[in-house]
A and B are shown apart, each in its own frame.
Chain A
Amino acid sequence: MRQLLKGNEAIVKGALLAGCRAFYGYPITPANEIAEAAAYYFPRCGGTFLQAESEVAAINMVYGAASAGVLTMTASSGPGISLMSEGISYLAGAELPCVIADITRGGPGLGNIAPEQSDYWQVVKNGGHGSYRSLVLAPSSVQEMADLTRLAFALAARYRNPVFVMADGVIGQMMEPVRFGEPAAVPPRPQWAVDGTAETRKNLVSSIFLQPDELEAHIGKLGAKYAEASRRETRLESYRTEDAEVVLTGYGIVRRILRHVVDELRGQGIAAGLLRPITLFPFPTEEFERLARRVPLFVAVEMSTGQMVEDVRLAVSGRAEVKFYGRCGGNLPDAAGIVEFVKTRLGAMEASHA
């Protein structure tokens, strides 16, 4: 059976099916429906919901719940994620699992409440201090909001690390039919958690390592974990790339536009393809590397002034041209504009090679 619902609501149902039972949040547009749905469903599923006094409080409630071994989450948008950065650094440092949904809006500062993808840097590259990473999943449909939220909890538990579900305001606000899977069993309390019993008395949840050698070893352990995640968890979608002469790339709602652009360009005789990262960290670097051996032009399309494009450039590493096309401020890139941009770039390349 399929249900028609908003992307933001799909996150909440996905979380409950994954076994999440503690939600802490603070109102912010365009993420409000997540807290609203959580306030309704969590208490009805044996869980708890609390409206915190700020995002700083919410993420620290998550920190507390995670240390007690409960699957927990919060949700916000750009300005609130900025406030949570400190707590996320502590959660990563203390190796605690949690899921954070970021329904991105326009910035910097107050910006506006229209969709943007300008949180890429603060989420994928980390807004907080220290050598840590968050795993980041980028849904591009309401179905994926549900599915990737479930995956996010599995990854958080597997790597004992914060995992983001980052979606632009379009995906958060729009409605689509969704098919939900069977609920997962609420996992048993992990052995490292503290639960007030004599057996867990020895457990210590901490991010402090005063001796330089100890901290260096700890950071090394975190790094090894992220390397393992890069090997095992990288996810991407490849569409008509095998014979492509130009590869477009984008995530979230942009991926939906780019699939249309690829078909349109193919109709005009241009061999275009789409490489869409599903995980923004780990980034699908190897696939970009592989394609860059053959494909001369990559076009990154984002709802920002160009953030993910830096990771594309790093992956392509000078083997091919990387161009950027973006809109921001709440505007969406339009298919016709992207088609024209790609044709102009291809034309310029041919002219320079002639």
Chain B
Amino acid sequence: MSTTANPPKKTNRIGLEVLNYKGGKTTLCAGCGHNSISERIVEVFYEMGIHPWNVAKFSGIGCSSKSPAYFLGLSHGFNGVHGRAPSLATGAMLANRNLVGILVTGDGDTASIGIGQYIHLMRRNLPLIYIIEDNGVYGLTKGQFSATAEMGSKSKGGVINDMAKIDCCLLGIQLGASLVARSFSGDKKQMQAILKAALHHNGLSVIDIISPCVTFNDHEGSTKSYSYMKEHDLPIHEIDFVPHYENIEIEMAEGEVREVELHDGSQIRLRKLNRDYDPTKKTNAVRLLQESEEKGEVATGILYVQPRDTNFFDMLGMVDEPLATLPESRVRPSKESLDMVMEELR
């Protein structure tokens, strides 16, 4: 009989193990960038102590949209219609404002068939994390260019893309998204920090993550390959995130760090790298994206953040409780309001 005691299991601040945040086994290709994004989501939701059963995962159609099956297995998932995840998420989040919403989509799902819905979602500041797993191709249908493929990028079959790309970050910034970031699936630390900030942001967070497709877009001449990103990724700052429930003092040299305080008191601390960059200014973000494109660089980090006190629920004048849980006594119209309606019909 063994007398060896099991070591205590490592848990987060709500007493759950990291195992409670995992999902099913991935069916994506080995080495797919999407898999490392799923891993980061597992780590961050565990670390931040989010109740997994309070999370709603939304997706559309494509390789990326399969990935919610591979993280947060205890959460609720909604795999919807091609390009329609923004409206599905809007409907569900309005029905239950207590949900933590995370939408995972791809460049085909968002920038082509779903672009109309994407654009209108940007205008609404719905509290939602919107991740674009961006590889520049349609993987499930064998490698056609998507609308985020750079002009001049070469397909696996040798075809050169001759159409201008859609920059989902630039669109998001211009159309009202209040946190916009770009990252690279190979940069674990940056992705973690951005995801943490997005979890605490009171509004819509768009995170465009360059996530190479190892099967159809990882060759020489592609601008979304691992090697291209390793050479052209230009992080604009180092990001530390300090949640409101922790009080961590970080020693930093004067003038080297920029702090952005979010609605709930959490702080995004941005350590200057090769330039001084203020992400709270829209014009800075637009200029940065346009200049990087001209130079052939991929600027990554929190490109734009505008901490908000109010969100889409407040704008709609919604009650504090989720609509889905209101008792009949609260949703039944009063006699006075019914009388008023009848009076109007006279």
Name A's B-contacting residues (CB within 8 A): 26-29, 32, 35-36, 51, 53-55, 79, 109-110
The smallest C-beta distance from A162 to any residue of chain B, in angstroms, reads 22
> Pick the contact of B112 from A32, A54, A79 — CB < 8 Å?
A54
Q: For A113, give the chain B residue with the smallest CB separation.
A: B140
The smallest C-beta distance from A27 to any residue of chain B, in angstroms, reads 4
Q: Contacts A53-B115, A79-B82, A110-B79; is A29 near B141 (CB within 8 Å)?
A: yes
Q: Is B145 among interface residues, defined by CB-CB distance under 8 A?
A: yes
Jot down 27 A-B pairs with beta carbons below 8 A, ordered by A.
A26-B112, A26-B113, A27-B108, A27-B138, A27-B141, A27-B144, A28-B141, A29-B140, A29-B141, A32-B141, A32-B142, A35-B144, A36-B142, A51-B144, A51-B145, A53-B113, A53-B147, A54-B83, A54-B112, A54-B113, A55-B113, A79-B81, A79-B82, A109-B81, A110-B61, A110-B79, A110-B81
Interface centre among B61, B81, B82, B142 (most CB of A within 10 A): B82
Q: How far is the CA of A36 from the CA of B138 in the complex (A)?
A: 13
- Write the B62-85 contact mask toward A (1 if CB under 8 angstroms, else 0): 000000000000000001011100
Q: For A31, give the chain B residue with the smallest CB separation.
A: B141
Q: How far is the CA of A54 from the CA of B61 in the complex (A)?
A: 13
Q: Please give, as numbers and ranges, the residues of chain A lying within 8 Å of B141 by CB-CB distance.
A: 27-29, 32
Q: Please give, as numbers and ranges, the residues of chain B lying within 8 Å of A110 by CB-CB distance.
A: 61, 79, 81
Q: Please give, as numbers and ranges, the residues of chain A lying within 8 Å of B113 by CB-CB distance.
A: 26, 53-55
Q: How far is the CA of A51 from the CA of B137 in the complex (A)?
A: 13
Q: How far is the CA of A51 from the CA of B79 in the complex (A)?
A: 25
Q: For B62, give the chain A residue with the smallest CB separation.
A: A27
Q: Please give, as numbers and ranges, the residues of chain A lying within 8 Å of B83 by CB-CB distance.
A: 54
Q: Please give, as numbers and ranges, the residues of chain A lying within 8 Å of B145 by CB-CB distance.
A: 51
Q: For B115, give the chain A residue with the smallest CB separation.
A: A53
The smallest C-beta distance from A77 to any residue of chain B, in angstroms, reads 11
Q: For A51, give the chain B residue with the smallest CB separation.
A: B144
Q: How far is the CA of A308 from the CA of B55 in the complex (A)?
A: 44
The smallest C-beta distance from B66 to any residue of chain A, in angstroms, reads 11
A53-B113, A54-B113, A109-B81 known, 17 other contacts, Cβ within 8 Å: A27-B141, A27-B144, A28-B141, A29-B140, A32-B141, A32-B142, A36-B142, A51-B144, A51-B145, A53-B112, A53-B147, A54-B83, A54-B112, A79-B81, A79-B82, A110-B61, A110-B81
Q: Please give, as numbers and ranges, the residues of chain A lying within 8 Å of B140 by CB-CB distance.
A: 29
The smallest C-beta distance from A14 to any residue of chain B, in angstroms, reads 22
Q: Please give, as numbers and ranges, the residues of chain B lying within 8 Å of A26 by CB-CB distance.
A: 112-113
Q: For A80, give the chain B residue with the smallest CB separation.
A: B82
Q: How far is the CA of A269 from the CA of B322 in the complex (A)?
A: 68
Query: Which positions 135-173 of chain B face chain A at CB distance < 8 Å?
Result: 138, 140-142, 144-145, 147
Q: Please give, as numbers and ranges, the residues of chain B lying within 8 Å of A109 by CB-CB distance.
A: 81
Q: How far is the CA of A26 from the CA of B141 in the complex (A)?
A: 10
Q: Please give, as numbers and ranges, the residues of chain A lying within 8 Å of B112 by CB-CB distance.
A: 26, 53-54
Q: How far is the CA of A5 from the CA of B133 in the complex (A)?
A: 35
The smallest C-beta distance from A42 to any residue of chain B, in angstroms, reads 14
The smallest C-beta distance from A23 to any residue of chain B, in angstroms, reads 14
The smallest C-beta distance from B74 to any residue of chain A, in angstroms, reads 23
The smallest C-beta distance from A174 to any residue of chain B, in angstroms, reads 18
Q: Please give, as numbers and ranges, the residues of chain A lying within 8 Å of B142 by CB-CB distance.
A: 32, 36
Q: For A28, give the chain B residue with the smallest CB separation.
A: B141
Interface centre among B79, B108, B144 (most CB of A within 10 A): B144
The smallest C-beta distance from B153 to any residue of chain A, in angstroms, reads 15
The smallest C-beta distance from B279 to any residue of chain A, in angstroms, reads 30
The smallest C-beta distance from B298 to any residue of chain A, in angstroms, reads 23
The smallest C-beta distance from A106 to any residue of chain B, in angstroms, reads 14
- Write the B98-133 contact mask toward A (1 if CB under 8 angstroms, else 0): 000000000010001101000000000000000000
The 4 closest A-B pairs by CB, nearest first: A27-B141, A54-B113, A53-B112, A32-B141
